[in-house]
Amino acid sequence: MSVQTPPPAPAWHDTRPVAVVGAIGPPAGFWIRFVAFLIDGLILGIIAGVIVGAMAIVAIVIGVGFHGDDDENVALIVIGMLLGAIALIVVSWLYEALMTSSHNGATFGKRALGLRIVRADGATLSFGRATARHFLKAMITPLVPLPSATCWPPSPTASARCTTSWRTRS
């Protein structure tokens, strides 16, 4: 039995640095990101209000709920709610993905606070990466309260046991 030497390491032609912290600056803290999130939420809330208002005007113009068959009204209301929900999802997605993948690399809220979204090498995100980032945030953000929900209901023994178990994990 003979011992063979391993093959040589591959020669990579594209040798970019993994992160250039000096060129792009340190990551922003939680609170500054949270304020940017609130500003973007306010902007999207105004847009959502316009969409809901427009749908309400359409419902009033076609007379949903004022006359006609109840089954027909229910079907129109459900269709209107589905179209409204789809419109809100698309507007939210396009707002974040298009603005984050632009040359500014930031939504209005992030821009107002001087923040920018970049890749590890300092390049701007592509539309595909910005889209993936948006939908991953939309899936993960609702899961944030779960660790605190494991400590529910609050009782003296359960609370102490829960906090202790969180502190001792490493």
Q: Could you report the per-residue pLDDT of 5-43, keeping only the tens digit for each?
A: 887 777 766 655 555 555 577 888 889 999 999 999 999
- For range 103-110, the mean pLDDT: 92
Q: Which two tokens stand for residue 122?
A: 């300092």
Enumerate the domain spans of the chain: 28-142
Q: Which residue has the higher pLDDT, 149 or 73?
A: 73
Q: Could you report the per-residue pLDDT of 36-67, keeping only the tens digit for each?
A: 999 999 999 999 999 999 988 887 887 765 56
User: Does the pLDDT value for residue 70 go beyond 60?
Assistant: yes
User: Does the pLDDT value for residue 170 go beyond 50?
Assistant: no
CA–CA separation, 104 and 118 (whole Å): 10
pTM: 0.67
Q: Which residue has the higher pLDDT, 169 or 149?
A: 149
User: Does the pLDDT value for residue 105 go beyond 50?
Assistant: yes
